[in-house]
Amino acid sequence: MNSTHPFNAGEIPALAVRQGGGGQVTPLGPDAWRLALAATSANAYALAQLDDYLHLPRVRFRWHPPVQLDLEARVSASNLPGTWGFGLWNDPFAMPLGVRGSARRWPVLPNAIWFFHASPRNALTLRDDVPPNGFLAATFSAPTWPGLALLPALPALLGLLWPPSARWLRRLLRQFIRQDAVRLDHDVTTWHHYALRWFSDRAGFSVDGHVVFETTIVPRGRLGLVIWIDNQYAAFTPQGQVRFGLEATPPAWLEIRGLRIAGE
């Protein structure tokens, strides 16, 4: 992940708080927070999230390469239901009406670079050679078509109801949504330093100063910073099974400190 680009020490970004279903974000210092979920059933969505794009349209998301993100993190357990993580993405699945005052955005294809934990019920990959769950260093790269341009493809979603056609759609989507990932196996319940670097032609991830993943599959367009923990899952399996929903979760938390981000 070496580069001649002179990143500065970075800044502490201004972050908006999103909480729901027993989720709570608590400041622990000027650059530290605890994102916590109360014990939650599978009948209610629980979320604790920090992001820097709540009121922004995607064209005004702040981050584009080159960018470096640094923080330290730990989580209450390694096998938590749902998902949690931190990094940059384009918030692709936001709905037109927005949530709690957020900007109105149509769904688009995903672009992301992040450290991402997905419980075993998740299968968040279109490639059979990329790990579908676990704690991942991962990227998504897709065309930055406007959401309205995807409307003609909506009838094709009916094909997800029949496994043979869903398998065909999964293969088709690989032509438009590229991704890369590696599963990490260190103890996430203890403090570690995480860093990612995003350049226009490559990306790198490190843990405690050691490079753990490098890839040339990088996101496109402008991205927003997101840090979250929730209790949802989603899967699109090689067998053509599509499922999504919520998981019951015990009390859980993600703590971060030393957050810095540097870019142009």
DSSP assignment, residue 154?
Answer: G
Structural domain span for residue 221: 26-263
In a domain, residue 74? The reply is: yes
- Total domain count, the chain: 1
How much is the pLDDT for 93?
85
How much is the pLDDT for 162?
82
Give the pLDDT of the chain (264 residues) as one tens digit per residue.
Answer: 555 566 777 899 999 999 999 999 999 999 999 999 999 999 999 999 999 999 899 999 999 999 999 999 999 999 999 999 999 999 998 744 334 555 678 899 999 999 999 999 999 899 999 999 999 999 999 999 887 767 777 777 778 778 899 999 999 999 999 999 999 999 999 999 999 999 999 999 999 999 999 999 999 999 999 999 999 999 999 999 999 999 999 999 999 999 999 997
Q: Is 59 helix (H, G, I), strand (E, B) or coil?
A: helix
How much is the pLDDT for 103?
65
Closest by CA position to 231, among listed 84, 59, 58, 79? 84
In a domain, residue 247? The reply is: yes
- Rounded to the nearest 5 percent, the helix, strand and coil shares of the chain are 10, 45, 45
Alpha helices per DSSP H over 79-231: 163-173
How much is the pLDDT for 96?
40
Distance between CA atoms of 124 and 38, rounded to whole angstroms?
25
In a domain, residue 19? The reply is: no
Cα angle value 245/168/179 (rounded, 5°): 65
In a domain, residue 30? The reply is: yes
Distance between CA atoms of 230 and 19, rounded to whole angstroms?
10
Q: What is the CATH number of the domain that holds 72?
A: 2.60.120.200
Closest by CA position to 35, among listed 214, 253, 264? 253
In a domain, residue 14? The reply is: no
Are residues 72 and 103 in contact, defined by beta-carbon separation less than 8 angstroms? Answer: no
Q: For the chain, give the number of residues.
A: 264
- In sequence order, which residues have a C-beta less than 8 Å from that of residue 3 and are 6 or more positions away? 66, 197, 199
Give the sign of the dihedral formed by CA 185, CA 186, CA 191, CA 196: negative
In a domain, residue 3? The reply is: no
In a domain, residue 144? The reply is: yes
In a domain, residue 251? The reply is: yes
